[in-house]
């Protein structure tokens, strides 16, 4: 029973229900506006890894281990999923509705710039970027 309580606490503290709700709303927008689903696959993968990291962190706490790496990984993938969803809503749904369509390569480059900014901010905030990348690769 302790695992489920810990998991529920981690889900709420990391804003996962809000992220899942935004994901579902974005998915509805993408389907209703007949937008290509390229970015939704990336957001889905990032959200799934975020959820797996939260489950891993709750498991580690239940077993008495330190969950820091799992928490940082969940945070990183949650933020990356948020960036991916925001880029999809802005560049694939929003801008085409007002008559602006950007080339796919430009959207991908802007996404990459946001990820680099995320890494720089994480580094300055004290996150181990190498640890996040290594943990991401392992997961």
Sign, Cα dihedral of 102, 103, 106, 112: positive
Query: Tokens representing 68?
Result: 């820091």
pLDDT tens for 68-104 read 888 888 888 888 888 889 888 888 888 888 888 888 8
pLDDT tens for 24-45 read 999 988 888 877 776 688 889 9
Question: Is there a contact between 30 and 92 (Cβ–Cβ < 8 Å)?
Answer: yes
């Amino acid at each position: 029973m302790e695992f489920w309580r810990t998991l529920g606490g981690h889900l709420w503290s990391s804003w996962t229900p809000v992220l899942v709700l935004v994901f579902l709303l974005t998915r509805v927008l993408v389907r209703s506006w007949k937008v290509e689903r390229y970015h939704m696959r990336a957001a889905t993968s990032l959200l799934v890894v975020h959820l797996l990291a939260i489950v891993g962190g709750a498991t580690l706490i239940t077993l008495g281990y330190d969950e820091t790496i799992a928490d940082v990984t969940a945070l990183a993938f949650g933020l990356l999923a948020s960036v991916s969803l925001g880029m999809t809503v802005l560049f694939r749904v929003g801008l085409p509705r007002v008559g602006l369509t950007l080339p796919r390569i430009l959207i991908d480059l802007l996404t990459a710039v946001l990820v680099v900014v995320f890494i720089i901010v994480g580094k300055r905030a004290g996150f181990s970027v190498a640890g996040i990348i290594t943990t991401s690769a392992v997961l």
